[in-house]
Chains A and B, each alone.
Chain A
Amino acid sequence: MTLYSVIGAGVAGLAVATELAERGAEVQVFDPAGPPGPHGCSWWAGGMLAPWCEYENAEEPVLRFGQEAIGWWSKRTRVTKAGTLVVANKRDLPDMRRFARRTEGFAEVGREKVAALEPDLHGFGQGLFFEDEAHLDPRKALQDLYRGLVDKGVTFHKKIAPSGLENAIDCRGLSAREYLYDLRGVKGEMLIIRAPDVEITRPVRLLHPRIPLYIVPRGDGVYMLGATSIESEDSSRITARSMLELLSAAYALNPAFGEAEVLEIGVDLRPAFPDNLPRIRRLGRTIYANGLYRHGYLLAPALAKGVADLALHNIHSEMVDEDRA
């Protein structure tokens, strides 16, 4: 039986390993950093399964592949299906009209409905409600995939994958860039805050012409606040400006966020190809699966299916852009 070696235990690697293992393949995983943790950028993700919202500024495959994600994740981790609420300050309402024109799958809601959905949002008279969207806790999701794989007998090697592996699948994100000439890093910064006085139950996006931001509830008064998107490959630390923008967004949603505790600051680089869509590339004995950009959880299921189709059945999904086996 063929043994597949998945390299990298972030969301891409774990989803690929899961898909292969569930289809009956024999799989091992290599990651020198060990089980999922803060070393990988998927640890810092928002965990929104929001294909309709993302479609506003992304290519069509994000909408199509993204819709598979909610079902895929629901079978493997806890997914909260509470929708997404999009709001804007009064002066930025043109941005909301623009947002609405560019996507689908929402209902326009007025002051009463906004207040009914999220009583703790202050002063928003209009919104867009994307009822079919969902969210998950990324760290929990990674751990659930990890445990599921261990239960299936998948071996995790806490070391660098040996060179010359047959049937390798490289899911290392930006660490694989020496093999992927057109991969770049896009800096993202986020905060995790605790504000027990504020109760928001679903992801809320605050539109702004320059700095659109979102907040995702993680339960127990903990919120993820994200995320900047900067064409920079410096992941050393957050800038004061980004921190100000993130916190101002939270403050605009409810001034009580001013009393929140800042629990964590996350900075990392999203791996992205020029069109910001993921790719599957087979070069020699290695399949590269990469470029999830800001859509790690949204597109990992489709990426994993594409890899499994290629590895097991030699079927080329549309994510495969090069095959030089």
Chain B
Amino acid sequence: MGKSFYGVELPNPLMLGTAQYPSPAILEEAFRASGAGVATVSLRREGAGGAGQTFWQMIADLDVLVLPNTAGCHTVKEAVTTAHMAREVFDTKWIKLELIGHTDSLQPDVFQLVEAARILSEDGFEVFPYTTEDLIVGERLLEAGCEVLMPWGAPIGSGRGLNNTYALRAMRAEFPDVPLVVDAGIGLPSHAAAAMELGFDAVLLNTAVAKAGDPVAMAKGMMAAVEAGQMGFEADPIEARDMAEASTPVIGKAFLS
């Protein structure tokens, strides 16, 4: 059984972003064809005066769980304001908290992140923080009221996969009961499967699908991958060994034949 994300069990472990698709029609088809259960959506740039309405209505019409985000925010104040707007527009307490600390790597500013997470949690938001794989930061975020952690696989849009599997595995072990999502850095279905094989609860990606030559096919591939990875993890895989181990015993075989 999947873990609960603030009381909600996800229909499947794939969360898709909604930016950068060639057209809204292709975005919609990517969701329909893959069956992804959660859509993240950015409000910062489209925001002013609720002007993104038509596009937001399209997202709402996808009939999936909507996770608004604070993409593009660099300060606590910006992020908090954007979160409040998101709550109004999408009528949800969920907010993916993204606080960018570095323009080139889009690395999260974890110090501001913890502060904003605390403010928003106290204000009744259910915060999904985009963070690094740092365990202490994870702990602080949980103390601040978060019930989900979303460490990066690699920098946003880089498509590099899981840069630090050791640390992600450690995070899984450290927080066995917390829903963990690999957010950002995924380029290939194998990256998404690898995250799920580590025991993560979901994968969030955007660029890998939106910027693929065939976004719809890539979305389906990602869904197949997260499901495969999840089944693999749940099936309690064998340990890797250095030497072969024949699946049929060989000793004694000659005596029986």
Residues of A within 8 A of B (CB): 57-59, 98, 101-102, 184-185, 187, 209-210, 230-234, 236, 239, 241, 272-277
Complex contact B46–A230 (CB within 8 A): yes
Q: Which A residues touch B247, using CB under 8 A?
A: none
Q: Which of B22, B48, B58 contacts A234 (CB 8 A)?
A: B48
A324 vs chain B, min Cβ distance (A): 22
Contacts of A233 in B (CB 8 A): 51-54
How long is the Cα–Cα vector from A276 to B47 in the complex, in angstroms?
A: 21
Pick the contact of A231: B26, B49, B55 (CB < 8 A): B55
Tell me whether B211 is interfacial, beta carbon within 8 Å.
Answer: yes
Q: Which residues of B21-71 have CB atoms within 8 Å of chain A's CB atoms?
A: 22-26, 28, 45-49, 51-55, 58
Docked complex Cα distance between A127 and B54 (Å): 37
B213, CB-defined interface residue at 8 Å = yes
User: Nearest chain-A residue to B22 (Cβ)?
Assistant: A57
- B157 touches A (CB below 8 Å): yes
- Asked, given contacts A230-B46, A232-B46, A232-B48, whether A184 binds B54 with beta carbons under 8 Å apart, the answer is yes
Q: Is the CB of A101 within 8 A of B22?
A: no
Q: List 9 A-B contacts (CB under 8 A).
A: A58-B22, A101-B213, A102-B213, A184-B24, A232-B48, A232-B52, A236-B48, A239-B48, A273-B25
* A contact face: mostly helix, strand, loop, or mixed: loop
Q: Are A275 and B53 in contact (CB under 8 A)?
A: no
Is A98 within 8 A of B211, CB to CB? yes
Chain A residue nearest to B54 (CB atoms) is A184
**Mask for B109-128, Cβ within 8 A of A = 1, else 0?**
00000000000000000000
B23 pairs with A231, CB closer than 8 A: no
Name B's A-contacting residues (CB within 8 A): 22-26, 28, 45-49, 51-55, 58, 157, 211, 213
Chain B proximity of A303: nearest CB distance (Å): 17
| Top 4 closest pairs, chain A to chain B, by CB | A234-B51, A275-B25, A231-B55, A184-B54
Chain B residues contacting A232 (CB-CB under 8 Å) are 45-48, 51-52, 55
Q: Which residues of A contact B51 (CB under 8 A)?
A: 187, 232-234
Are the C-beta atoms of A274 and B23 separated by less than 8 Å? yes
Task: Indicate whether A231 sits within 8 Å of B22 (C-beta atoms), given known contacts A101-B213, A102-B213.
Answer: no
Provide the residues of chain B in CB contact with A98, threshold 8 Å: 211
Shortest distance in angstroms between A80's beta carbon and chain B's nearest beta carbon?
A: 28
In the complex, which residues of chain A have a beta carbon less than 8 angstroms from the beta carbon of B23? 59, 272, 274-277
- Asked if A274 and B48 make an inter-chain contact with CB atoms under 8 angstroms apart, the answer reads no
Question: With contacts A98-B211, A102-B213, A232-B51 known, what are 19 further pairs, Cβ within 8 A?
Answer: A57-B22, A58-B22, A59-B23, A184-B24, A210-B157, A230-B45, A231-B24, A231-B46, A231-B55, A232-B47, A232-B48, A232-B55, A241-B45, A273-B25, A275-B23, A275-B24, A275-B25, A276-B22, A276-B23
